[in-house]
Structure 1
Amino acid sequence: MSEQFLTAFYGGTFDPIHHGHLQPVIALAQLVNLQRVILLPNHLPLHRPPPQATPYQRLMMTRLAIADTPGKLFIIDERELRRATPSWTVETFQAIRREYGPMAPLGLIIGQDSLLTLPQWHRSEELLKLCHILVCARPGYLHSDHWMVHRLTDDPIALHHQPAGLVYCAATPELDISASDIRGRLHAILPCYDLLTPSVQGYINEQGLYRTASVRTLL
Structure 2
Amino acid sequence: MKPLAIFGGTFDPVHLGHLSVAWEASELLDADVRLMPASVPPHRPPPTASAQQRVAMLRAALQGQSRLMLDTRELEREGPSYTIDTLIELRAEQGDRPLVLLIGADAFANLATWHRWRELFDVAHIGVLSRPGVDATLPDELEREVADRRTADASASQGLSAGKLIELVVTPLEISATRIRELLAAGRDPRYLLPAGLFDESALLAPYRR
Q: Above 0.5 in TM-score?
A: yes
Matched, 1:8 2:18: no
Contact 2:132/2:169 (<8 A) preserved: no
Contact 1:25/1:136 (<8 A) preserved: no
Contact 2:154/2:168 (<8 A) preserved: no
Segments of 5+ residues of structure 2 without an aligned counterpart are: none
Matched, 1:133 2:117: no
Matched, 1:43 2:39: yes
CA deviation map 1:5-45 (0-9, x unaligned)? 111111111110001101011111112212x1011111111
**Which of the two has greater helix per residue?**
2
Matched, 1:73 2:67: yes
Report what 1:28 is aligned to. 25
Using the alignment, how far apart are the partners of 2:4 and 2:188 within structure 1? Answer: 37
> AA paired with 1:92?
T
Using the alignment, how far apart are the partners of 1:18 and 1:40 within structure 2? Answer: 14
CA deviation map 1:46-65 (0-9, x unaligned)? 12111111111100100111
CA deviation map 1:46-97 (0-9, x unaligned)? 12111111111100100111115xx310111111112232121101111111
Aligned residues with identical type, % of pairs: 37
Which runs of structure 2 are paired with 1:193-204 in the superposition (5 Å)?
193-204=191-202
Using the alignment, how far apart are the partners of 1:110 and 1:118 within structure 2? Answer: 10
How many residue pairs get aligned? The number is 205
Using the alignment, how far apart are the partners of 2:182 and 2:98 within structure 1? Answer: 39
CA apart distance, 1:202: 3.7
Report what 1:114 is aligned to. 107
Task: Give the alignment's TM-score, normalised by structure 1.
Answer: 0.87
Using the alignment, how far apart are the partners of 1:65 and 1:199 within structure 2? Answer: 5
CA apart distance, 1:152: 0.7
CA 1:207–1:24: 2 relative to 1, 3 Å: closer
Task: Give the alignment's TM-score, normalised by structure 2.
Answer: 0.90
> AA paired with 2:193?
L
- SS of the equivalent of 1:156 reads coil
Contact 2:3/2:157 (<8 A) preserved: yes
- SS of the equivalent of 2:169 reads coil
CA 1:203–1:139: 2 relative to 1, 3 Å: farther
CA apart distance, 1:137: 2.2
- SS of the equivalent of 1:108 reads strand
